Amino acid sequence: MEIILHPIGTIHTPFKKGDAMPVQSVEGRDIEGYIELLPEYVDGLNDLDGFSHIILIFHLHLNEKVKMQTRPFMDNVYRGIFATRSPSRPNHLGLSIVRLDRVEGNRVYIRDMDMIDGTPLLDIKPYVKVIREEDEIKQGWFEPYKNRKHKTWHEASKDKA
């Protein structure tokens, strides 16, 4: 079965190449960017500005490889692809939760960017809290890395060299 998608717009960020890009949006803290939405979808942005955080689903368009095991940038062990955010995943879908600054016409100004300039955007969703406060959050292999400082893909690659 084939599912055919069309970009609804483009994500603009300061990252022209993957090298300088943060590995996670928490590491892209405060880095500003914007969405340029196709004109036919502008009315769909109504009410979005009430939300402090939004979820972007985008196409990891520079990556054509599909691997089942990958070594995450901050880690030295091969992990199952679905336990990582690696772009070498089936369908090459990317997801980031970013902070919303403001909506102006067909532009959505956001911060906490961790994707490359020109990334095709597939969807925008409002972020609502779904995890209950009484629920423990376990983050598997990622746990030791959760408080690490800002690191770009380039820096992380050097660490492993």
Task: Identify which of residues 131 and 161 has a Cβ nearer to a copy of itself in the complex.
Answer: 131
Instruction: With CA atoms as reference, report the closest residue to 86 among 97, 74, 100.
Output: 74
Residue (77 or 161) nearer to a copy of itself, CB: 77
Q: Which residues bind a copy of itself (CB under 8 A)?
A: 1-8, 24-26, 41, 43-55, 57, 59, 68-69, 79-85, 89-91, 93, 95, 97, 99, 120, 122-132, 135-143, 146
- Measured at the CA of 146, the angle between CA 58 and CA 17, to 5 degrees, comes to 40
Give min distance, CB of 155 to a copy of itself, in A. Answer: 19
* Residue (128 or 161) nearer to a copy of itself, CB: 128
The residues facing 103 across adjacent strands are 108
Instruction: Supply the minimum distance, in Å, between the C-beta of residue 129 and a copy of itself.
Output: 6
Closest distance of CB 29 from a copy of itself, Å: 8
Map residue 25 onto helix, strand or coil.
coil
At residue 90's C-alpha, the angle toward residues 127 and 113, to 5°, is 40
Tokens encoding 138: 């376990």
Q: Which is nearer to a copy of itself, 147 or 161 (CB)?
A: 147
Residues 6+ apart with CB under 8 A from 40: none
With vertex at residue 125, the alpha carbon angle to CA 120 and CA 131, rounded to the nearest 5 degrees, is 130
In the complex, the smallest distance separating the C-beta of residue 37 from a copy of itself, rounded to whole angstroms, is: 9
| Smallest gap from residue 104 Cβ to a copy of itself (A) | 14
Residue 121: other Cβ atoms inside 10 A:
22
Nearest CB to a copy of itself, comparing residues 132 and 149? 132
